[in-house]
A and B are shown apart, each in its own frame.
Chain A
Amino acid sequence: MDRALRPVKSPPLLHAGAAALVPLAVQAVVIGSVGLGLLFLALPAFGYLPALGRDGFDLAPLRAALSYPGLVTAAATTLVSGLLATIVALVLGIGTIAVLDPLGRGDRRSGRWLRRAMLALIASPHVAVAVGLAFLLAPSGWLLRLAAPLLALDRPPDYLLVNDRAGLALALVLVVKETPFILAVGLGALHRLDAEPQLRICRSLGYADSIAWPKIILPQLYRLIRLPVFAVLAYGLSVVDLSIILGPSLPPTLPVLILRLTVDPDLSSRMTAAGAGLLQIGLVAAAFGIWCGIESLAARMIKGGTMSGRRAVPAWITSIIRRSILGVAGIALMLGLAAIAAMALWSVAEVWRFPDPVPSAFSLQTWDSVAGALALPLWNSIGLAAAATALALATAVACLEFEDRIGAAAGRRGQWILFLPLLAPEMGFLFGLEVAAGRLGVTGSAGAVLWFHLLFVFPYVFFSLSEPWRALDTRYARTARCLGAGPWRVLLRVKAPLLRAPLALGIAVGLSVSLSLYLPTVLAGAGRITTLATETVALYGGGDRRVLGVYAILQTALTAAIFTAAVLLGRPRRFHRSA
């Protein structure tokens, strides 16, 4: 932190003012929050919990956690499903780019609809997609209803596709949600790489595009998306809400097991939970290590391929690879879209007996009956999302504006810190942060929930805004200053309108991230602040598909509306053609 305390040297001509403090303050809050979380996790994990009269240090909680029934299985399942989902999502996301849009230009008609549908899937909230997939895949789910006539079924079969012990259903929903994310991040990175001239040179050296792309473009592309990939891995290993809905139940995944121990009324369970939280951090660290191993293995393979000088692969091999990538990605996409359709159908179903492919009677009765209970979580969700996004946006703009006024190097210093909350195991540091919030006496307050939300909303808003902001031609601002406009006028009248599209997108991303947050809301809100996301997970136990359908479809509609509005508002100004 000594770097943070050193005064920033500012050129005397630029009035940095208070803006200089913003990036440092943001980094301090992020480091402080994550650090506080880890500290208050580590203390009880090593036996220090004065509330229980334990003021020494020992390894009892760790031992208790390790011998807790099912914990080792839970850890193993978590590791396998998280790694599996990340690998598949990465291969599918990057593979789809390679097949449909290798230059990152979005100009091939063939791929346009697939990419659009994929990007639409990013917008749909995690919990909603998970609930929809459960509706789809359950023994009495839509998929089997559609297949029932073929299989001559008249009652739900006895099989376990959802909540399976190996965590495959959990891995599936992660793949369905993360593939579009990798796709979007990858396309953004590819855009910056300017792949076309490089591929042209490869062609002139006799390389077919199908082999030049993995040899030359892929390694550069991966380097640019490495951080988001690690975030996907950390998310898959720490996710709670999706795991409650689709993951195994006896034992559940490690994060869910920790959450159950955390909310156990028996206080001594908290120490076991802390011990397990520490193991969770170890698990994520181990997974990162394994991932680095996979990376270096893949790098060595690609390097060997590069040195071999091979110019082409047989057409039938590329054709098989292309088809399988598109096929599997297509299935993942269809499952995601069908999940949304299933929720919509259930929310308006009045009578839907088992083998029927569609409900035999429709009504809006469920919507009517749920409307009352829905209002509070709905307004809580919207209020939280609006507040978190407004704060995150203002902070991100302040950081980037500071960068313009003081200099890029000073602004970018320590930027990776902003990513910390996305890389640290959620169930680990949020557990500790909740303990810390309890010490401060703010647990269950709107402020605490907002704080927890901001940790996740801010990095997404910042990173969706920072690239376009930095790419803006600085001479516009220079010209405006020379025309007599002060820095504030330049910000409001020149930069903001020129950055209209990314600003609108950043707002939409912020809102949708906040709307989808489950664990931060539950822990900081202590169950007292309910949102659509927490209510959906809570209602899932009850199993009323119609009610769940309403909650899930409402969330999806909300996010869809937000992104549609962002696209419309982000359009450039239309001028009158008249002279």
Chain B
Amino acid sequence: MNTLEISGLVLRLHGRSLFGPLSFTVTADRPTTIMGPSGCGKSSLLNWLIGMLPEAFSAEGTARLDGRAIDGLPPEQRSLGILFQDDLLFPHLTVAENLAFALPPGIKGRAARERVVARALEEAGLAGLAARDPATLSGGQRARAALMRALISAPQALLLDEPFNKLDSALRERFRATVFETARLRHLPVLLVSHDPADAAAAGGPVITLDGISSPGN
């Protein structure tokens, strides 16, 4: 079972404690939601997890992915997939190239890599859009392409930084369901940051609320 384990996390901004110590464990069957007002440090928690905390912040604590300590590793070796509010598809690459960029180098040979990418596009309902400029895709297609790009890099956990926020309401529900369903099928622990209670409800797991002072969840 994949687990993402955070223990004793204290996050500081300019030396002032934002929250913590915070400890919790995310498993594949319990997608966890972190909620709180803006400025409480919830997005910074994700930035700390991926190893790209802005310089104004400092943190102590450990993060383990399947028992392996990942804090201290460079971001590209942490095996964490992340989705932001915007899809952030690279605008200079085609849809297929965006996915190929994320595909681990272990899969060798041009033909083999193209096959994997094509299969992934098909799975995401994007077959036939491989050579397209991402800017020409619809909002839903872009969101699915971004999700598939994160998944094709073979992450062992999925981080979500309010990725449903900018989608219109019909699309939001559908994409939200897709994300959680996909993660469940792949046994990926999901850590979601949001201020929308509907997101937490859809996640269906524990909710940790950061109110600016500190409140450890579960």
Question: Which among A407, A478, A485, A498 is the interface contact of B101 at CB below 8 angstroms?
Answer: A485
In the complex, residue of chain A having the shortest beta-carbon distance to the beta carbon of B81: A482
In the complex, residue of chain A having the shortest beta-carbon distance to the beta carbon of B55: A407
Q: What's the Cα separation between A419 and B122 when bound, in Å?
A: 54
Q: What's the Cα separation between A487 and B52 when bound, in Å?
A: 12
Q: How close is B151's CB to chain A, nearest CB, in angstroms?
A: 10
Interface residues of A in 190-208 (CB under 8 A from B): none
Q: Is the CB of B131 within 8 A of A494?
A: no
Beyond A484-B153, A575-B131, whether A11 also contacts B84 by CB under 8 A is no
Beyond A482-B50, A484-B153, whether A575 also contacts B84 by CB under 8 A is no
26 contacts between A and B (CB under 8 A): A11-B53, A13-B51, A13-B71, A14-B74, A406-B55, A407-B55, A475-B88, A478-B47, A478-B52, A478-B75, A479-B84, A479-B88, A482-B75, A482-B76, A482-B150, A482-B155, A483-B101, A483-B149, A483-B153, A486-B74, A493-B101, A498-B90, A575-B131, A576-B131, A579-B128, A579-B129
Beyond A483-B153, A498-B91, A579-B131, whether A478 also contacts B55 by CB under 8 A is no
Hey, what's the 0/1 contact readout for A496-513 against B, CB within 8 Å counting as 1?
Answer: 011010000000000000
Q: Is the CB of B82 within 8 A of A498?
A: no
Chain A interface residue count, CB cutoff 8 Å, equals: 34
Question: Which among B51, B82, B133, B150 is the interface contact of A575 at CB below 8 angstroms?
Answer: B133
Contacts of A11 in B (CB 8 A): 53, 55
Q: What's the Cα separation between A407 and B94 when bound, in Å?
A: 31
Q: Is the CB of B92 within 8 A of A572?
A: yes
Interface residues of A in 546-579 (CB under 8 A from B): 572-573, 575-576, 578-579
Q: What's the Cα separation between A573 and B135 when bound, in Å?
A: 12
Chain B interface residue count, CB cutoff 8 Å, equals: 38
B35 lies within 8 A of chain A by Cβ: no
Q: What's the Cα separation between A500 and B90 when bound, in Å?
A: 13
Contacts of B216 in A (CB 8 A): none
Contacts of A487 in B (CB 8 A): 74
Contacts of B81 in A (CB 8 A): 482-483
Hey, what's the 0/1 contact readout for B65-100 against A, CB within 8 Å counting as 1?
Answer: 000000111111010111010101011111000000
Footprint of B on A, CB under 8 Å? 11-15, 406-410, 473, 475-476, 478-487, 493-494, 497-498, 500, 572-573, 575-576, 578-579
Q: A497-B92, A576-B131 are in contact. List 7 more A-B contacts (CB 8 A).
A: A476-B90, A479-B82, A480-B101, A481-B50, A485-B101, A497-B90, A500-B92
Q: What's the Cα separation between A409 and B56 when bound, in Å?
A: 10
Q: Is the CB of B92 within 8 A of A579?
A: no
